[in-house]
């Protein structure tokens, strides 16, 4: 019990017979306030008997088990926007903290400037980067020093490493140093001119491996992956880029990058392979690479692609990688063509994530910009109030719909099929726009329901093949509520049901038990 000691000099008459100490405070045992009650996921009563006959059933057979989940995260290609925000600590908590999205994947950048004129590498990891966001020193860096970007990344990595210790960090390269390209143009940020010159394969591999070792040593992080490219088949737009050939990338991965990582003691670091801008092109690229260079599997790759301008029917599996046991990541996505902060946009992204998990069978999904200032695109999850030195931010609605996945689907769980059975009555039908996915890890389960119907809410019984639910909590996001928590107790007959509002995402979590245990109803 917690004790409260209060001054009572002018209010002794309010406490009547309470005894007091010489200093005028209440005695130690006079005022008692119960300890706060922690929210429990355990059942604490019974619900009314459900009237619906519609069923959502998790199927647990081996034929219904699909990919293992590696996690969810975002990129810090706009890390400067975070570094210059006075609310930057809270931004990182909103992205990676337990009360936020609980991201466990971080995508950063290896910048070309890290190559020095004498051929050495300098990643600035041992320099002072802990400047206050509103300090004159940081603003001078912004105006005069190209290290501002590198310092921003160092700060972001340092901060996330203090928030949680289970993050998979991976780092991509938008362009190699210009001197290692066939035609670098007039500088190292020239919008994508030039291709990689394979004569410098050893130097480039050492550059990437040295970066991974430097960051692992400096921050004690899990450098889960290194990607030596970003959108290598196009290198388009007004940002850094570099063209790679398919065979060129495969040879570099096996013959140079894998050995260089191993030499630095990064034997467990994966090579994030591909990262093409369009998902269908990435599927073709990975298949061609694996056919021409089967050794890629032994090189420890993760097959990767981006999800730009991808319509639902093109969200397909990377079958060639899946067949060889290679994990598949969708490593960048956002709306780069229009800006919409409404719940319509949030539902679009909920269905997109559901599609990549159910139809493409990816192991991980990574959003583009965790936080930045946008005016014409939907690139971010958190909107800062200015581009450079901001003082506030807010959560865009898609933040919440994506959180319905990232907060509740644990790493190491396996996706399972969900059978949807509509009731016979016309009023008891499941919406045709409903998608349902489920995930099991040990004795825990997660179900994600995306109801894209703008007119039909529904109730459904929840079942799991061969097992019984031991506890059940739902979290609901719609235009009116966000991550609304509700305990779903069983009825007296042992049935459990969920109510899913129209145009909403509902995630259900809990533990299950085997049938026949003593605690069964």
pLDDT tops 80 at residue 173: yes
Q: Where are the chain's structural domains? A: 1-37, 55-65+415-514, 70-406
pLDDT at residue 191 in the model: 47
What the block records as the tokens of 188 is: 């190292």
User: Contact 95/399 with Cβ under 8 angstroms?
Assistant: no
pLDDT reported for residue 357: 98
pLDDT at position 183 is 75
- CATH 2.60.120.10 assigned to domain 70-406? The reply is no
pLDDT at 517: 55
For all residues of the chain together, what is the average pLDDT?
91
SS (H, E, C) 289-358: HHHHCHHHCCCCEEEEEECCCCCHHHCCCCHHHHHCCCCEEEEECCECCCCCCCHHHHHHHHHHHHHHHH
The DSSP call for residue 88 is H
Is the pLDDT score of 4 beyond 60?
no
pTM for this predicted structure: 0.91
φ and ψ at residue 242, rounded to 5 degrees: -160, 130
Cβ burial, residue 172 (10 Å; 0-12/13-18/19+)? buried
- The CA distance from 233 to 242, in Å, is 8
Instruction: Give the C-alpha separation, 220 to 213, whole Å.
Output: 10
pLDDT over threshold 60, residue 340: yes
Q: Is the predicted pLDDT of residue 188 greater than 50, yes or no?
A: no
d(CA 351, CA 401): 9
Quick one: pLDDT at residue 373?
A: 96
Q: Which two tokens stand for residue 281?
A: 């092109």
- Strand, coil or helix: 201: helix
pLDDT in tens, 361-371: 999 999 999 99
The rounded distance, in Å, linking the Cα atoms of 32 and 24 is: 17
At residue 417, the 3 state secondary structure works out as coil
Which structure tokens are listed for 51?
Answer: 């009237």
Q: CATH class for domain 55-65+415-514? A: mainly beta
Q: What is the pLDDT of residue 123?
A: 97
């Amino acid at each position: 019990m917690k004790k409260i000691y209060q001054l009572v000099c002018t209010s002794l008459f309010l406490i009547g017979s309470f005894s007091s100490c010489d200093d005028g405070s209440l005695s130690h045992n006079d005022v008692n306030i119960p300890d706060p009650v922690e929210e429990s996921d355990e059942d604490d009563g019974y619900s009314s008997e459900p009237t619906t006959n519609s069923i959502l059933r998790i199927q647990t057979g081996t034929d219904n088990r699909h990919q293992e989940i590696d996690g969810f995260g975002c990129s810090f290609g706009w890390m400067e926007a975070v570094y210059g925000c006075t609310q930057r600590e809270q931004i990182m908590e909103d992205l990676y903290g337990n009360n936020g999205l609980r991201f466990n994947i971080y995508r950063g950048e290896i910048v070309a400037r890290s190559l020095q004129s004498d051929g050495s590498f300098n990643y600035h990891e041992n320099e002072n980067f802990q400047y206050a966001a509103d300090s004159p020193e940081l603003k001078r860096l912004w105006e005069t020093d190209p290290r501002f970007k590198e310092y921003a990344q160092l700060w972001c990595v340092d901060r996330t490493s203090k928030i949680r210790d289970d993050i998979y960090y991976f780092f991509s390269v938008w362009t190699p140093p210009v001197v290692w390209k066939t035609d670098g143009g007039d500088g190292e940020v020239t919008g994508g001119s030039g291709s990689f010159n394979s004569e410098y394969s050893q130097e480039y591999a050492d550059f990437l491996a040295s970066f991974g070792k430097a960051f692992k040593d400096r921050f004690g992080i899990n450098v889960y992956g290194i990607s030596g490219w970003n959108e290598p088949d196009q290198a388009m737009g007004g940002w850094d880029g570099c063209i790679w050939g398919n065979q060129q990338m495969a040879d570099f991965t096996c013959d140079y990058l894998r050995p260089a990582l191993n030499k630095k003691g990064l034997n467990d670091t994966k090579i994030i392979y591909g990262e093409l801008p369009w998902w269908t092109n990435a599927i073709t690229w990975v298949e061609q690479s694996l056919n021409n260079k089967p050794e890629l599997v032994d090189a420890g790759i993760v097959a990767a692609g981006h999800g730009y301008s991808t319509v639902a029917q093109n969200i397909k599996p990377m079958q060639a990688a899946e067949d060889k046991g290679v994990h598949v990541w969708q490593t960048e996505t956002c709306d780069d063509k229009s800006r919409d902060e409404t719940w319509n946009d949030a539902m679009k992204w909920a269905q997109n994530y559901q599609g990549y998990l159910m139809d493409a069978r990816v192991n991980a999904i990574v959003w583009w910009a965790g936080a930045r200032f946008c005016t014409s695109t939907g690139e971010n999850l958190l909107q800062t109030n200015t581009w450079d030195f901001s003082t506030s931010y807010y959560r865009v609605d898609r933040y919440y719909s994506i959180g319905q996945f990232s907060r509740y689907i644990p790493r190491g769980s396996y996706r399972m099929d969900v059978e949807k059975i509509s009731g016979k009555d016309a009023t008891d039908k499941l919406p045709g726009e409903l998608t349902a996915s489920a995930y099991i890890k040990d004795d825990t389960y997660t179900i994600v329901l995306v109801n894209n119907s703008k007119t039909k809410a529904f109730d459904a019984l929840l079942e799991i093949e061969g097992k019984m639910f031991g506890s059940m909590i739902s979290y609901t996001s719609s235009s009116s509520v966000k991550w609304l928590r509700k305990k779903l107790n069983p009825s007296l007959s042992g049935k459990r049901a969920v109510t899913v509002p129209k145009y909403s995402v509902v995630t259900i979590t809990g533990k299950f038990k085997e049938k026949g245990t003593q605690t069964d109803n």
